[in-house]
Amino acid sequence: AFKPLVFSGVQPTGNLHLGNYLGAIRKFVALQADNDCIYCVVDLHSITAQLVHEDLKGQIRSIAAAFIASGIDPEKHIVFNQSAVPQHAELAWIFNCVARIGWMNRMTQFKDKAGKDRENASLGLLAYPSLMAADILVYRGTHVPVGDDQKQHLELARDIAMKFNLDFRDNIRATGTGVDILVGDEPVHAYFPMVEPMIEGPAPRVMSLRDGTKKMSKSDPSDLSRINLMDDAETISKKIRKAKTDPEALPSEAEGLKGRPEAENLVGIYAALSDRSKADVLSEFGGQQFSTFKPALVDLAVTVLSPITAEMRRLMDDTAHIDAILRNGGERARARAEKTMAEVSDIIGF
């Protein structure tokens, strides 16, 4: 079997929000106790949808600061910036030649982000999942904590790994670089592992505060749609008070949230922030109005987020410190990625 390795990445674009925190960063923190973890600021991904960014460096530092302020230990684990390790792009090129265009065309995130004018989207936006597969597999990563929105991309990473393993099966044997694994019931001699998504948890997808059917996202033009990690208590309070709801009281059981996406989202956020199930939260708040529930949610969100916000501000004021952490992480990541690429070159026959 492959040695377990946790890998995940966050793009340095726009403000980090509560969805990123509950869907990703908080899981990154929890996984450190029992795993070898690599957490990456994926700057190469950030130029796929929009090429030119104001203050990209500042954005990169702010993601690193958010990781560390949330409790990631950059000495025991690895925190770095993707472009510092050129092997990500190198392996992505090889994966571009493994993956099929039809696989990419089916990605719902591509369809969403490309919009109507698909012919005019960047080639990088289409190939994004291939780079994401390379990010993980250049470390032969086995586990990926992400939000539910990334599930389809991880399935594609498995398809790429599987096709590489099968297409090069003889060379993998000949170079002695492979590992025997089971894929379903099928024994495979694999160079790349089949990555496992880690999507579970009470809030796999946090929805917009303005529309319970859309995910909370950095790219939503309405700032009222999301709670940013850098928001102060007053702003958090305003956004939750203005969050869209329906006129009914909260149900006393989770079943009663069906067909009420806004209510379900707010209860889900409360549950995730307090490490409880939705059912448990409803056993406390069932029958109450949003006018009672929202202030409780404000208090909870401020209690959880304000120490993180304060620490992020402190770290971001010390850019030399953040840059040193990223440089050190980049060197350690590069050493591992170089080893993989030397083996991949042997397998391909370069």
Is the CB of residue 159 less than 8 Å from the CB of residue 194?
Answer: no
| Residues annotated within a binding site for L-tryptophan | 135
Rounded to whole angstroms, what are the CA distances from 313 to 80, 89, 231, 253, 321? 19, 32, 11, 40, 13
HSE-CB of 267 using CA atoms within 13 angstroms? 29
**Structure-block tokens of residue 210:** 């303005």
Q: Residue from 218, 244, 321, 334 that binds ligand ADP (CB under 6 A)?
A: 218
The count of chain residues that interact with ligand ADP, using the rule CB under 6 A, is 17
Assess whether 163 carries a catalytic annotation.
no
The answer to whether 339 contacts ligand ADP (rule: CB under 6 A) is no
Q: Residue from 5, 7, 23, 202 that binds ligand ADP (CB under 6 A)?
A: 23
Is the CB of residue 269 less than 8 Å from the CB of residue 56?
Answer: no
Assess whether 113 carries a catalytic annotation.
yes
Q: Interacting stretch for ligand ADP, rule CB under 6 A, among 19-27, 67-75, 255-263, 292-300?
A: 19-27
Catalytic residue among 113, 239, 278, 294: 113
Q: Residue from 5, 20, 125, 191 that binds ligand ADP (CB under 6 A)?
A: 20
Interhelix angle for 123-137 vs 87-98, to 10°? 110
Rounded to whole angstroms, what are the CA distances from 162 to 175, 182, 187, 188? 18, 12, 12, 9
**Beta-bridge mates of residue 78:** 38
The answer to whether 60 contacts ligand ADP (rule: CB under 6 A) is no
Q: Interacting stretch for ligand ADP, rule CB under 6 A, among 141-149, 236-244, 265-273, 295-303?
A: 141-149
Judged by beta carbon, residue 153 or residue 344, the one nearer ligand ADP is 153
DSSP letter string, 74-99: TTTSEEEEGGG-THHHHHHHHHHHHS
Q: Residue from 216, 269, 312, 316 that binds ligand ADP (CB under 6 A)?
A: 216
Assess whether 76 carries a catalytic annotation.
no
Catalytic residue among 215, 239, 278, 294: 215
Q: Residue from 5, 6, 7, 19 that binds ligand ADP (CB under 6 A)?
A: 19
Pairwise CA distance, residues 325 & 305, whole Å: 23
Write the binding mask 153 to 192 for ligand ADP: x where contact by CB under 6 A, - elsewhere.
----------------------------------------
Is the CB of residue 88 less than 8 Å from the CB of residue 42?
Answer: no
Residue with the CB atom nearest ligand ADP in the bound state: 23
Which residue numbers are catalytic?
113, 215, 218
